[in-house]
Structure 1
Amino acid sequence: MLSGFRNFILKGNVVDLAVAVVMGAAFGAVVDALVKNVLMPLIAALVGSPNFDSFAKVTINGNDLQFGVLLTAIVNFVLVAAAIYFVVVAPMNHLIERRNAKLGIAEEEPAADPAVTLLTEIRDSLVQR
């Protein structure tokens, strides 16, 4: 039982996963700083408030419904997603395309759906009659 655990821990995938978690946490701090210190102040300059917590606050029977807090969370999520896309995903896709072009690697076309292929063959056989 312990030898199985030892083998699991020593596998390369576990080490890679541990490194990815640590790097993800560090990158999360960078993205959080970008959103809180760059993007949200820009929104505050446009809207007049650094967050939307005080917007759309409704009181029903003494209970506060704070829709503004939800709106702030949604805006933060969209900003984080945009920051990750434009800072990481888009540049990496561009680098991969440049590398593939330099190496002469063509993009693989997706395999045709068997149902579409069969329907095409049926159509073609009907046209030949």
Structure 2
Amino acid sequence: MLQGFKEFITRGNVLDLAVAVVIGAAFSGVINGLVDGFIMPLIGWLVGAPDFTAIAFSIPNWQGGSTRFPIGEFIQGLVMFLLIAAAIYFFVIVPINKLKALRKSSEEVVEEAAAEEVVLLTEIRDLLRAQSGAPSPSQSN
């Protein structure tokens, strides 16, 4: 029983998931700091403080009172979600994709150069074999 638990815990995907949760929690602080410390003040400077929490409506209930629906909290949460998603996309995803594209293009250039070198070296080998009188691999088949 303990052996099975040990195997489960030491599997790569469980450890990767644990690391991802810890890194995600730390990264959440970075993104929240970016949104709270830069994006929200910038929006507040441009258009005023975006506080939607005061938006609400009330409906009379059957007991003679009224029931309040604070939809502003939902709107505030939605705006914060969109701002955080935009911050992650524009400050993390876009730069990483550009770095990957740059890396990929440089790897393709290296691969093309390597393929050209192989062709050239093959030709040199065949010429040297032809000069020494030994049959080339293409002639022996």
SS at match of 2:57: strand
Structure 1 residue corresponding to 2:67, chosen from 48, 63, 70: 63
Tell whether 2:74 aligns with 1:89.
no
Tell whether 2:103 aligns with 1:104.
no
Identity of aligned residues (%): 46
State the distance in 2 between where 1:64 and 1:47 align. Answer: 28
**Displacement of 1:32 after TM fit?**
0.9
Question: Which AA in structure 2 matches 1:76?
Answer: M
State the distance in 1 between where 2:47 and 2:59 align. Answer: 27
Larger displacement relative to structure 2 (13-22 or 93-102): 13-22
**Displacement of 1:38 after TM fit?**
1.5
Unmatched tracts of structure 1, length 5 or more: 106-129
Aligned residues, how many?
104
Matched-pair contact (CA < 8 Å) for 1:35–1:79: yes
State the distance in 1 between where 2:94 and 2:47 align. Answer: 28
**Displacement of 1:50 after TM fit?**
4.0
State the distance in 1 between where 2:11 and 2:29 align. Answer: 28
Question: Which AA in structure 2 matches 1:60?
Answer: I
State the distance in 2 between where 1:12 and 1:59 align. Answer: 53
TM-score by length of 1: 0.72
State the distance in 2 between where 1:35 and 1:51 align. Answer: 14
**Displacement of 1:46 after TM fit?**
3.3
Q: Which has the larger radius of gyration?
A: 2
Matched-pair contact (CA < 8 Å) for 1:53–1:66: yes
**Displacement of 1:82 after TM fit?**
0.5
Q: CA RMSD in A?
A: 1.6
TM-score by length of 2: 0.67
Question: Which AA in structure 2 matches 1:59?
Answer: S
Question: Which AA in structure 2 matches 1:58?
Answer: F
**Displacement of 1:5 after TM fit?**
1.2
Question: Which AA in structure 2 matches 1:11?
Answer: R
Question: Which AA in structure 2 matches 1:14?
Answer: V
State the distance in 1 between where 2:108 and 2:86 align. Answer: 31
